[in-house]
Amino acid sequence: MNKLLLLIAAAFLFASCGSSSPQEPIRLQGKAQGTYYTIVYYDSLSRNFQPQVDSMLQAFDQVASLWVDSSEIQRLNRNETSVVSPTMRDLLEKSFAMNAYTDGAFNVFVGPLVAAWGFSFKEREELTEQRIAELLRYSHGHYDISQNAAGQIEFTKEYPAMQVDFNAIAQGYVVDQIAAWLRKQGIGSYLVDVGGEVIAKGLKPDGTHWSVGVERPADDKDDAPEIQAVIALDNMSVVTSGNYRKYYEKDGVRYSHTIDPATGRPVEHSLLSVSVIDPESWRADALATAFMVMGLERSLQFIESHPQNPAVFFIYDQDGEYATYATPEFQELIIE
């Protein structure tokens, strides 16, 4: 996914690649999930993990990427198979849990709607009320995950036309996977960024935290990014969802790539971006998307009524001006 929503603060932008001193960061970069990734870490053994990281990302793309034609998600969507891998099962179960948790705002079955509104690989369809109602049915069909007689895990769905879209959770998920793998290698200080979904842990050798900039919404999707706030992260992930990089305009109306699963239409409200901080990146990713669906007021009600108040930062439009609101948990982490 091509969304540069978060910028990594200057602190490590100057990091050099494959350095030999343990006091200098090692920086890996490449492409995955239709986007870029950057990983920076300190290692007393100066190991270069590029090959391992690349193969992890490739393996993940083979499961969950809509950009890989032969991926497991594509084969499931084309109904070529119903048996799922452990990673696919985990992604599906986490997605369904978030669907319940967000009262339906997060819904990976919006796939056919995302495509129909022109946000995947096809041009936008001419959409009638009837067609939207039909596609909505596919977002709310029944599904099941169970073990078959051969002991395999099977994912079954009510309509063959039901299609899964992990774009709102997959990057966060793979960020967690890479972070866990780095910890296993004994890396105590790292930052992992896949397409703007970031996780960081530990202090840098100079004793400072990893810092991450949250981008100010751009007026135009091609505008150069500017930083709205800088936050310090330790053992936390920050994910931003926004409507200002991925949209299209038709007859003066901006259509967002976030689909409201209640209406089957792109969301239309004053919320421009939502950043969520959570220990788990997949959760932050799914929640940020869900808040974009809910809009500011419903999101604030949701945060109030859920005991483990997440750290959330909203940027919204107020009479043509940018306004921001940070929950106290988020505010605490802002350093600039």
Please report how the helices 281-305 and 170-184 are oriented relative to each other, as an axis angle in degrees rounded to 10: 120
Question: For residue 236, with 0-12 CB atoms within 10 Å meaning exposed, 13-18 middle and 19 or more buried, which class applies?
Answer: buried
- By CB under 5 A, is residue 99 in contact with Mg ion? no
User: Which of the choices Mg ion, ligand AMP, none does residue 261 contact, using the CB cut-off of 5 to 8 A by kind?
Assistant: ligand AMP
Q: Which amino acid is at 304?
A: E
Six-digit token pair at 250? 């038709």
Q: Give the contact letters, 167-206, x = binds to Mg ion (CB under 5 A), - = no.
A: -x--------------------------------------
Number of residues that make up the chain: 336
- By CB under 6 A, is residue 119 in contact with ligand AMP? yes
- By CB under 6 A, is residue 11 in contact with ligand AMP? no
7 or 114: CB nearest ligand AMP:
114
User: What residues between 263 and 292 interact with Mg ion by CB under 5 A?
Assistant: 285, 288-289
28 or 73: CB nearest ligand AMP:
73
Residue 171 backbone dihedrals phi, psi, to 5 degrees: -65, -45
Q: Out of 57, 63, 84, 168, which residue is the one contacting ligand AMP (CB under 6 A)?
A: 168
User: Which of the choices ligand AMP, Mg ion, none does residue 189 contact, using the CB cut-off of 5 to 8 A by kind?
Assistant: none
Q: Which amino acid is at 46?
A: S
User: What residues between 132 and 171 interact with Mg ion by CB under 5 A?
Assistant: 168
Q: Give the contact letters, 223-252, x = binds to ligand AMP (CB under 6 A), - = no.
A: ------------------x-----------
Rounded to the nearest whole angstrom, what is the least distance from the CB of residue 20 to ligand AMP in the complex?
Answer: 37
User: Which of the choices ligand AMP, Mg ion, none does residue 190 contact, using the CB cut-off of 5 to 8 A by kind?
Assistant: none
CA nearest 198: which of 296, 63, 333? 333
Task: Say how many residues touch ligand AMP, by CB under 6 A.
Answer: 20
Q: Out of 25, 213, 261, 295, which residue is the one contacting ligand AMP (CB under 6 A)?
A: 261
> Is residue 198 within 8 Å of 191, Cβ to Cβ?
yes
Q: Identify the sign of the CA torsion 31, 34, 35, 37.
A: negative
The partner residues of 237 in beta bridges, in order of sequence, read: 199, 278
User: Which of the choices Mg ion, ligand AMP, none does residue 310 contact, using the CB cut-off of 5 to 8 A by kind?
Assistant: none
215 or 285: CB nearest ligand AMP:
285
User: What residues between 277 and 296 interact with ligand AMP by CB under 6 A?
Assistant: 285, 288-289, 292-293
What is the full DSSP assignment across 279-300? SSHHHHHHHHHHHHHHHHHHHH
Q: How far is the C-alpha of 39 from the C-alpha of 30, rounded, in Å?
A: 9
Checking DSSP bridges between strand 271-278 and strand 311-318, what pairing results, if any?
antiparallel
Helices marked H in 65-158: 72-77, 86-101, 111-116, 129-139
Six-digit token pair at 50? 């590029």
Task: Say how many residues touch Mg ion, by CB under 5 A.
Answer: 4
Q: How far is the C-alpha of 60 from the C-alpha of 40, rounded, in Å?
A: 20
Rounded to the nearest whole angstrom, what is the least distance from the CB of residue 228 to Mg ion in the complex?
Answer: 18
Positions in the binding site for ligand AMP (CB under 6 A): 3, 106-108, 110, 114, 119, 165, 167-168, 241, 257-259, 261, 285, 288-289, 292-293
Positions in the binding site for Mg ion (CB under 5 A): 168, 285, 288-289
